[in-house]
Every structure is written in C-alpha cells, then in structure tokens.
Amino acid sequence: MATIVGLVHLEFHIPQAASLKDKRRVLKGFKDRLAAAHNISVSEVADQNKRQRGVLAIAMVGADKRYMAGALQKIITAASAHRDMVLLNSEIEWI
C-alpha cells in the first residue's frame, strides 16, 4: 500500500489589505475554514511581509490519489471563489 502526499500551492492577491494585520486576518479565516472542512495541513509559506500577497501550501496525505485529486481541486475552487482574495496561481504536486 502506497502513501501519497498531495501538495497544493496557492498564490493570492489581497486587494483590500491595508496592512499585514488585514492580510493575516483574511488568510487565517480562509485557512481555518479549509482545515475545518478537509483533513489537511495549511501554512503560509512565502510573501509573509507583503501586505497584499499571500502564498499558502496545503498538504494532504492518503492512499487514494483519485479521491485526493478531487478534494484538492475543491480546495482550489474554494480559493478562486473567495470574495476577499484573488487567486493568481495554483499548482498541485504529488510526492
């Protein structure tokens, strides 16, 4: 039985963020909603000191790649529909 790791990188523009505090509030809310809805780990991994940019990495571990691909795609869809952020780029990587 193989263990599969799915990794998603999401890059955002947060146009309404007037400060780093605003940016972190938006990202934290999004991260908390994702973590509550999916069995994942989420972390801000780049652009921590840029007030209108954010990069999140999301990891999921499992044995069924097809299920995981669907779940990760749902996360990307949720990210693109978020009202306070503009999704600039998304990438799925398998390990």
CATH code of the domain covering residue 29: 3.30.70.1120
pLDDT for residue 9 is more than 90: yes
Helix (H, G, I), strand (E, B) or coil at 53: strand
Question: In this predicted structure, what is the pLDDT of residue 49?
Answer: 86
Helix (H, G, I), strand (E, B) or coil at 65: helix
42-78 pLDDT per residue, tens: 999 987 889 899 999 999 999 999 999 999 999 999 9
pLDDT for residue 35 is more than 90: no
Q: What is the domain count for the chain?
A: 1
- 75 neighbors 38 (Cβ within 8 angstroms): yes
pLDDT for residue 2 is more than 90: no
pLDDT more than 90, % of the chain = 75
Question: In this predicted structure, what is the pLDDT of residue 37?
Answer: 86
- 50 neighbors 33 (Cβ within 8 angstroms): no
**What six digits make up the tokens of 92?**
């799925």
Helix 65-81 with 20-37: angle, nearest 10 deg: 140
The residue range of the domain holding 53 is 4-94
Question: In this predicted structure, what is the pLDDT of residue 26?
Answer: 93
